[in-house]
Structure 1
Amino acid sequence: MLKKQNTVFNNSTVKEVGAILLFYFAFAWLYRIVLWYNGMRYIEGGFWGWLNLRGFWLASGRQYLFLLLGSVVIWFLGYYLLRHKSRKLQLGVVLLLLPVVTYFIREIRYIIIDAIGENRLTGSGEIWDWYIPLLFLFFQFSCFFAYRYFVENQRKIILEGELRQAALKSELSAIKAQLNPHFLYNVFNTINASIPPENENTRNMIAQLSDLFRYQLQASQSELVPLRDELEFVKKYLDLEKARFDERLDIDINVPEELLDEMVPPMLLQPLVENSVKHGLASLIDGGSIAINIKKSEGKLKFEISDTGIGIKDKSSVFKKGIGLTNTRLRLQKMYNSQLELVDNEPQGLTIKFSL
C-alpha cells in the first residue's frame, strides 16, 4: 500500500528538505576547509582553525547561502511551475536557467561584498566565482532529477504490484462468483415460493436481491456496461437500504438522459454508495440523504457521490480499513489514471469525486 508521507511543499518530504540543507552545509564546510588549507591558514590559526565560525561565514557560508537561494529560484521556475509538463522540458529550462542564475548570484554577491568593504576575488580570479557555483548547481540538479526519477519509478513499481494483486483478487472473486450461479437463483425462487402472498413487500425485496446478484454475476464477465444499467443496479441496492431505513433515507440521483448510454466499469458506484450508507448514515438517528450527480465536462464523465452523514476526519485512513474504496481507487488508477478524491460535504458529510 502506498503510504502518504508528511510533505512540506509540492510533495517534498521533511526528510528531503533536511537532506538538501545538510547537503549545502556539508559542501560549504568542505569548501571552507579547502580554502583554509590552500591559504595555509593553519600556520596562523593552528590545525583546528578551520572550525572558526566567522571564517566559515566569510570564506564559504555566505556564498553557499546565495547558492541555496539561487537553487530555489531555479527549482521554482524550472520544476515547480512546469510540474505538469514533460521531464524533457523541465530539464531544458533548468539547463538554461543555470548560467543565468549563477551570473546574477555572483553579481549580487559582489555588490554586497563591495558595499560592506570585504575582500573578494578580482581580475582573472573572478572566473572561479563563476565556474565553481555553476558546477555545483549542475551537480545538485543532476542529483535532484535522478532522485525524482528513482522515487517516481519506485512508486510505479509499488502501484503495479498493488494493481496485480487487486486484479488477482478480482479474478478469483469472478471465478467464485461464476461457480454454479443457478444455485443462487434457485434458492431465491424457493424462498419466494415459501413466503405467504400477504407478505408481498418481502417477496419484492427478495426479487430485488436476486436482481442484484444477477447483475453482479453478469458484470464479472464484462469490462464495461451502459451507465443506465449501473444506475439501475445502484437504485435497487438503495431501495433495499431504504426499506431498512424507512423514512430516514433520502435518495437524489441527477444524471442527464444523454449520458445513460455512456460505457462505464461495472460495480463502480455501488461500493461508494455502500460506504456512504454504512459509514456515513447508519449511525445517525435521523438518517440523512445520498446524492449521486453525474455530468460530462471537457470530454470526461464527472461523478460525485455525496452524503449528509458523520463525515471522515482522517481521509487517508479510509483506504486502510476496507476493500471497497481501495479496490475502486485501484480500478480507477489502472483503467483511467484517475484519482478518487474525498472532500467534506456542506454542511456535513462526505463527497466522493472521480472522473472517467
Structure 2
Amino acid sequence: MINWNKTIIWRIRLGELLAVVGIYIVLYLLYCITLTFNELAYLKITFPELLKNYLVSQFFDYSIKFILTIPIWYFYFRSIPHWSLATKVFLHFGTLVIFVITWQKLFYATMEFLGRGHLRGSSQIWDIYIPALIYIIQFGFFHAYAYHVKFQQQKEIENSLRQATLESELSAIKAQLNPHFLYNVFNTISASVPPEMEATREMIAELADIFRYQLKASRVDYVKIKDELEFIEKYLALEKNRFGSRLKTSIEASDELLNLKIPPMILQPIVENAIKHGISPKIEGGEVKIKIEKNDNYLIFEVNDTGVGLNSQEEVIGKGIGLTNTKLRLEKMFGELLHLSPNLPNGLKVWFKIPILS
C-alpha cells in the first residue's frame, strides 16, 4: 500500500509532490491540445502531427517552469515560512519578474538550440502573460494549501493541549494530597540521622528540594534558567552519590542567560536519559555535558554524553516517557523539534532550540 504521507525531501510528502506534478502534466496537455486546435485551421497539417510538434516544444516549456518553481517554493515555504503574508506578497512581485524573465530566456535558448521556433515581436507578450499567470495561480494555490495545513496543525495542537490541560489538572489534584506531609516526613527522617552521617542528611535535603521544585514546576508555565539549573545540579548530585567516580558532569551557561525563562523540567528528562541509557551500561562510566547558549533570538540547549550511544531514535523516542514527553512539549509549545545525533567519538548528543521569551 502506498504511503501518501511519506516524506520525500524538505518535509514534502509524496502525495503533495505527485499532486503538483499531476497539475503540471494536466496544464501541459491542455495547453498543447488548445494550441493544436487553434493552429489547425491555419496550417495544412494533420492533427496528430501538429499535436506531436507542440508536445515536444511545450514539454521543455513546462519542464523549465516546474524547475524554476522549486527554488522559489523553497524560499517562501522553507526559508521564510514565519514571515508575514504581506511581506511575502511584496516579495512575490520581484520573484515573479525573475521567474518570467529566466523562463523566457531559457525557453528561447532551448528552442533555438533545437532548431525550433518561438514567438517574436509583439507576440512575445504572450510569453510574459502566460508564465506570469501560471506563477500567480500556482503560488496562490501553494499559499492556500500551506494555510490549510497550518490551520489543521493548530487545531490538532489545540485539541492536544486541551487534553493535556485536563490531564495536568487531574495530576495536580492527585499531587495535592498534602505535600507538607511529605516535607515533614523528610524533615523527620533527616532529624533522626546521626550527626556522623552528615552526607546522608545532605542527600535527604537535596531529595526534598527536588520534590519541592517538581511541585512548583507543576504550578507554573515558566521558570528562570538559574532555577532549572539549580534543580539539575541537585539531581546530578544525587546521581553522583550513586555512580561515584563513574559519572562526571559539567554545565555551561553564561550569566546573561540565567534570568531568561524556559518551561520547567525541560532538561531533566534528557539528562536522566543520558545517565540511564548512556552512562549506566558502561563499566567505566562517562561524562554528561549540559550547554546553553544564545543564537540570535533563540536559546540552544545541548546535552552531550559519552555513553553507549544508540542505533536509531526509535530506541528512545516513542518508548521512553521522558524524551517522548519533551519532544511533544517542544512541538506543541514552540513548533520546534528534538534532535538526536551521535556525539563523536562516542555517545549521544540531544539538542533543541526555543525562542527567547520576553
Fold match by TM threshold 0.5: yes
- Call closer, same or farther: CA 1:19–1:217 in 2, change over 3 Å: same
Task: Report what 2:7 is aligned to.
Answer: 6
Given candidates 329, 338, 349, the residue that maps to 2:347 is 349
Rounded Cα–Cα distance in structure 2 between residues aligned with 1:259 and 1:74? 37
Q: Any conservation in 2 of the 1:253–1:291 contact (CA below 8 Å)?
A: yes
Of 179, 182, 191, 1:181 maps to 179
* Contact 1:292–1:305 under 8 Å retained in 2: yes
For structure 1, which segment, 295-304 or 263-272, has the greater mean C-alpha deviation from structure 2 after superposition?
295-304
Deviates more, 1:203-212 or 1:21-30: 203-212
Shift of 1:276: 1.2
CA distance in 2, matches of 1:260, 1:129: 59
Q: 232, 242, 245: which is aligned to 1:244?
A: 242
Aligned-partner Cα distance in 1 for 2:334–2:132: 42
AA in 2 matched with 1:30: L
Please tell me whether the aligned partners of residues 256 and 295 of structure 1 are also in contact (alpha carbons under 8 angstroms).
yes
2:151 corresponds to? 153
Matched, 1:37 2:37: yes
Query: 1:320 is paired with a residue of what secondary structure?
Result: coil
Give the distance between the partners of 1:291 and 1:89, measured in 2 at CA: 41
Greater Cα shift, 344-353 or 198-207: 198-207
Cα pair distance change 1:133/1:314, threshold 3 Å: same
Q: How does 1:45-64 map to 2 (within 5 A)?
A: 49=48, 54-55=52-53, 57-58=55-56, 60-64=58-62
Deviating more after overlay: 146-155 vs 204-213: 204-213
- Match status 1:282 vs 2:268: no
Q: What letter matches 1:284 in structure 2? A: K
CA contact (8 A) 1:329 1:340 kept: yes
Using the alignment, how far apart are the partners of 1:80 and 1:209 within structure 2? 45
Letter in 1 for 2:58: S
Alignment of 1:58-73 (within 5 A): 58=56, 60-72=58-70
- The amino acid of 2:229's aligned partner reads L
Q: RMSD of the TM alignment (CA)?
A: 3.8
Does the 8 A contact of 1:219 with 1:266 survive in 2? yes
- Taking structure 1 as the reference length, the TM-score comes to 0.79
After TM superposition, the structure 1 = structure 2 runs for residues 91-240 of structure 1, keeping only pairs within 5 Å, are: 91-114=89-112, 116-121=114-119, 125-188=123-186, 202=200, 204-240=202-238
Amino acid at match of 1:8: I
Report the AA paired with residue 28 of structure 1. Y
Comparing 115-124 with 165-174, greater Cα deviation is found at 115-124
Corresponding residue for residue 273 of structure 1 = 271
* Matched residue, 1:304: 302
Q: Deviations over 1:151-208 (max 9, x none)?
A: 2222222233333333333332222212212332344456567778876655554443
How far off is 1:128 after superposition?
A: 3.6
Secondary structure of 1:221's match?
Answer: coil
Gaps of 5+ in 1: none
Deviates more, 1:123-132 or 1:237-246: 123-132
Q: 1:80 to 1:93 in 2, by over 3 A?
A: farther
Q: Following the alignment from structure 1 to structure 2, what is the Cα–Cα distance between the partners of residues 246 and 70? A: 60
Unaligned runs of 5+ in 2: none
- Identity rate, percent: 43
Aligned residues: 349
Cα distance change on mapping 1:5 and 1:237 into 2, 3 Å: farther
Aligned in 2, Cα 1:223/1:159: closer, same or farther, shift over 3 Å? closer
- CA distance in structure 2 between the aligned counterparts of 1:120 and 1:202, rounded to whole angstroms: 88
**Comparing 59-68 and 281-290, the one that deviates more:** 59-68
Deviates most, 172-181 or 63-72: 63-72
Letter aligned with residue 154 of structure 1: Q
How many Å separate the matches in 2 of 1:113 and 1:229?
68
In the alignment, which residue of structure 2 is the partner of 1:322?
A: 320
The answer to whether the 8 A contact 1:294-1:301 is kept is yes
1:20 match: 20
The residue type paired with residue 95 of structure 1 is F
Instruction: Report the CA distance between 1:346 and its aligned residue.
Output: 3.0
